[in-house]
């Protein structure tokens, strides 16, 4: 008899679960996972860390990357001695392949070494900024004091200028402060966080 009561009770529960309710069950949608932030670094010696003892660990851009969310994609396209013209021709097309959300651009030393005229450097930097496209937030880094070509290029290209004063990209001790200033600029733009 107990067995019959248990079977009847189980059938009742199953039947109750199969009855039609007043409407479809609504399951709240989960938030779609956001795409990871992609950060591209473009530049010359300032961006590749050739003058640092251990650039993979101490370079300012690596410190920026380490402070961003774990899902961030970091691509460093910097090449020692690169000029703004070379970056426009080589690094910008490579950056387009990864479609960065943010580009950190530091191009001064290469142009200084080959004595690029200021007007040409400015035009080449504008080409870099504009070549990265309207969907990329561009930060132009300016070390060693005000630079008319960098300032004008950032303004003309709609980029954010990050003035680093006398911080030296070749000095390992300056790397944390360079990274801090870049992170502060990114935070002010609402990027990364």
Q: pLDDT tens digits, the chain, 193 residues: what are they?
A: 444 444 444 445 444 454 454 544 544 545 556 789 999 999 999 999 988 988 888 999 999 999 999 999 999 999 999 999 999 999 999 999 999 999 999 999 999 999 999 999 999 999 999 999 989 999 999 886 657 788 888 888 889 999 998 899 999 999 999 999 999 999 999 987 6
Cα separation, 78 vs 45, in Å, equals 7
The residue assigned the tokens 């690596």 is: 62
- Could you give the domains of the chain? 35-188 (3.40.50.1110)
Q: What is the dihedral of CA 171, 175, 176, 180, to 10 degrees?
A: 130
Contact 8, 71 (CB under 8 A): no
DSSP annotation string for 105-166: EE--HHHHHTT--HHHHHHHHHHHHHHT-TTSEEEEEE-SS--HHHHHHHHHHTPEEEE-TT
């Amino acid at each position: 008899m107990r067995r019959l009561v248990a079977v009847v009770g189980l059938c009742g529960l199953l039947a109750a679960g199969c009855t039609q309710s007043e409407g479809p069950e609504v399951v709240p949608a989960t938030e779609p996972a956001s795409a990871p932030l992609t950060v591209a670094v473009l530049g010359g010696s300032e961006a590749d860390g050739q003058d640092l003892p251990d650039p993979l660990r101490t370079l300012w851009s690596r410190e920026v990357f380490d402070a961003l969310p774990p899902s961030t994609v970091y691509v460093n396209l910097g090449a020692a001695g690169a000029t703004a013209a070379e970056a426009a021709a080589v690094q910008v097309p490579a950056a387009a392949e990864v479609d960065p959300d943010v580009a950190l651009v530091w191009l001064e030393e290469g142009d200084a070494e080959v004595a690029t005229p200021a007007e040409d450097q400015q035009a080449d930097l504008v080409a870099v900024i504009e070549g990265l496209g309207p969907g990329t937030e561009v930060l132009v880094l300016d070390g060693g004091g005000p630079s008319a070509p960098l300032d004008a290029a950032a303004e003309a290209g709609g980029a954010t200028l990050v003035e680093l004063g006398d911080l030296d990209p070749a000095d390992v001790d300056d790397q944390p402060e360079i990274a801090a200033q870049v992170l502060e600029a990114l935070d002010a733009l609402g990027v990364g966080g």
